[in-house]
Structure 1
Amino acid sequence: MAHHKSALKRIRQDEKKRVHNKYYAKTTRNAIKALRNATDKEEAAKLYPGVVAMIDKLAKRNIIHKNKASNLKSSLALKVNQL
């Protein structure tokens, strides 16, 4: 257990950030799943820009790696174009 006031504060901050990051990562994963399960091309094309924005935001904030973000966007673009 931490003994310094600053270390206790850092623990509180880290927990708050962890929960915040987990929420946005999970929300994005659900949006990706919805896009992958879309069967209509128009529906998928409508969802795609929003999902890409969410992925970019996660990468910008270092919640996911930028290369992972690129791979996700690429695979989703292929999926949308194949419909």
Structure 2
Amino acid sequence: MANHKSAKKRARQTIVRTERNVERKSMTKNVVKAIRTAIEAKDKETASGLLVKTQKLLARLAKHGVIKHNTAARKTSRLASQINNL
């Protein structure tokens, strides 16, 4: 356990950040799931609209270090190619 004042603060900040990151990852999974549902339903317009929002979200998460840059790029690329194949 942290003994110094600064270490205690860092421990509190870590807890807050972890909760925030878990929430953001969960939100991302839900958005990706919505796109995949639209792809399965062969609804290209809805999937394309959701893809734009998802790309922005993934880029923002990668920028802030919640997910890695390559992970964001890979997910975006795979979703885009699935939509283009409709």
Q: Do both share a fold (TM > 0.5)?
A: yes
Q: Is 1:71–2:71 an aligned residue pair?
A: no
Q: How many angstroms apart in 2 are the aligned matches of 1:67 and 1:25?
A: 15
SS in 2 for 1:67: helix
Tell me how far 1:4 sits from its aligned partner.
1.0
The correspondence of residues 50-69 of structure 1 with structure 2, limited to 5 A, is 50-69=53-72
The correspondence of residues 1-16 of structure 1 with structure 2, limited to 5 A, is 1-16=1-16
Consecutive unaligned residues of structure 1, counting only runs of 5 or more, are: none
Tell me how far 1:72 sits from its aligned partner.
0.5
By relative contact order (CA 8 Å, sep 6+), the higher-ranking structure is 1
Structure 2 letter corresponding to 1:50: K
- Taking structure 1 as the reference length, the TM-score comes to 0.94
**What fraction of aligned residue pairs are identical, expressed as a percent?**
40
Structure 1 letter corresponding to 2:44: K
